[in-house]
Amino acid sequence: MELDGFIYILVGSTFGLIVRMFIKYISGKKKIFYSNNILIVNVLASLFLGIFEGLNITNKNLILFIFVGFLGCFSTFSSFIYQLFNLIREKKYLILLIYYAEVILLSFLFFCLGYFITLTFIN
């Protein structure tokens, strides 16, 4: 990869981190089931991923900026896994199953929503 590719990833990831921290700041500590800002961020990242996939982006630098940089830093898969691990450690198995299903299903549904909205309104 050329130096400009790394720069696109760096700038994209910087924006992804800023947006994620902003969502963390505004979401506070309100929870639905075990949900928190990690759920919000992962669902939004899935929506954005669906939208960008629907746009069929082919520009290499834009792919590096959006998919690798912005969405890679914006989404919080490792935090999601850490929360699941803590629920196992705390023996909160029902909450673990609900939270896992909630994140996976909502993320998938919002990816599909973003994809089909893009296909409907853009293409």
Instruction: Choose among 113, 25, 16, 110: nearest CA to 65.
Output: 16
* 75 carries a ligand binding annotation: yes
CB 75 within 8 A of CB 42: yes
CA gap 45, 35 in Å, rounded? 15
- The length of the chain in residues reads 123
Distance of CA 27 to the CA centre of its chain: 15
28, with CB counted inside 10 A (0-12, 13-18, 19+), is exposed
Cite the annotated binding site for Na(+) by residue number.
Answer: 72, 75
Cite the annotated binding site by residue number.
Answer: 72, 75
